Amino acid sequence: MSAREVVFEHVMEPGTGKAVPVLRGQILRIEQVGNGQCADFNAFNLHDYKEYFHCGRTRHLHGLFPAEGDMLWSAPPRERPMFTIISDSVGTNDIQYPRCTGFLYEYQFGFEQHTNCHDILAESIREYGLTPDDVHDSFNFWMHTGVDDEGKLYIKRLLARQGDYVELMAHFDILAVPNVCGADIFSTSNFELKPLKVQVLESNPEDREQWLQPEERQFRNQRTPDAFKVKDIKVTRELVPDESYTPDWPVYPIVKQPVEVTLSDEEAELVEQLRANGGFGESDGDIVRHAFFSWWIEHYMRGPTQHHVGE
């Protein structure tokens, strides 16, 4: 494999972050300088900051702990891959916890001022004219988390060691914003803040062949502002109704239609057995519909089905 040229390098000291452009096909590399430092991360379309990274869609498509091979997706209605994690030497990342904030440290610990990811990210993106309101939910590299039996989140000791790294290939031009997580009184970074090295690398042909997504949108519903009814970004803070507004719902009205499904006696008995299961609904129609669409999901749906049938 041919070498990758380093086009940008910066060491983020504790308490800092860095907004850095990563162009399509380039690789963002974040590396541990010390042992065990979480990096919070924001990302924006470099040419349209209203398209930005979305934890929710990423979590939906790749689960609670994305790692090598998974993608970082932009928010609806754009919804396209921004980055692919092409290398991850540890494999513990989090997209459930929100970034820490000044409020959090004041509320939980009584600090008037404390390093926190929101303020660090906000200061980083100020270089590009963005505001604290533009900081969004973060991807948390190396943050080692879990979910307990009651559905509550918890934080474990971070596993990364000096030299561990993540590499992300950009699928379009992006303003990437990593920061040294400011949490030194949670176990997020093992109670010590450490620097992180950020590099931007030119990918080689093998990298692009393996990882780079097509430049064109693959689905009509990966939308652009051209498709918006309101195309301009609102510049005033006050919200007032548009007197000329009339709703224009994308799909409306929703019209129900009855479909008669003729079942044999044996099939009718199956309805009763699914009713006894308890997880398919109450009426015969509900039960047959639930079973039918469950079958359809299992055989035809693209992507993670995340469908649980029955009790």
Q: How far is the CB of 132 from other proteins (least distance, A)?
A: 40
Among residues 82, 77, 78, 48, which one has the least CA distance to residue 62?
82
Q: Is the CB of residue 67 less than 8 Å from the CB of residue 139?
A: no
Q: How far is the CB of 280 from other proteins (least distance, A)?
A: 8
Q: How far is the CB of 289 from other proteins (least distance, A)?
A: 5
**Closer Cβ to other proteins, 134 or 286, answer by number:** 286
**CB burial of residue 233 (10 Å; 0-12, 13-18, 19+):** exposed
Count CB-CB contacts under 10 A for residue 254: 6
Q: How far is the CB of 268 from other proteins (least distance, A)?
A: 4
Give the end-to-end CA distance of the chain in Å, rounded to a whole number: 51
Bridge partners, 169 (sequence order): 27, 84
**Closer Cβ to other proteins, 129 or 258, answer by number:** 258
Bridge partners, 10 (sequence order): 198
CA separation, residue 295 to residues 9, 136, 257 (Å): 51, 37, 21
Handedness of CA 130, 131, 136, 138 (dihedral sign): positive
The tokens describing 165, both together, are: 């790294």
**Closer Cβ to other proteins, 112 or 260, answer by number:** 260
Q: How far is the CB of 214 from other proteins (least distance, A)?
A: 25
**Closer Cβ to other proteins, 224 or 305, answer by number:** 305
- Site residues, other proteins (CB under 8 A): 251, 254-274, 276-277, 279, 283-285, 288-289, 291-296, 298, 300, 309-310
Residue 22, classed as helix, strand or coil, is strand
Residue 165, classed as helix, strand or coil, is strand
**Closer Cβ to other proteins, 163 or 285, answer by number:** 285
**Closer Cβ to other proteins, 279 or 304, answer by number:** 279
CA pair distance 98, 186, nearest whole angstrom: 14
Q: How far is the CB of 294 from other proteins (least distance, A)?
A: 6
Q: How far is the CB of 5 from other proteins (least distance, A)?
A: 48
**Closer Cβ to other proteins, 236 or 264, answer by number:** 264
**CB burial of residue 54 (10 Å; 0-12, 13-18, 19+):** buried
**Closer Cβ to other proteins, 245 or 252, answer by number:** 252
Q: How far is the CB of 292 from other proteins (least distance, A)?
A: 4
**Angle between helix 284-300 and 265-277 (nearest 10):** 90
CA pair distance 305, 294, nearest whole angstrom: 10
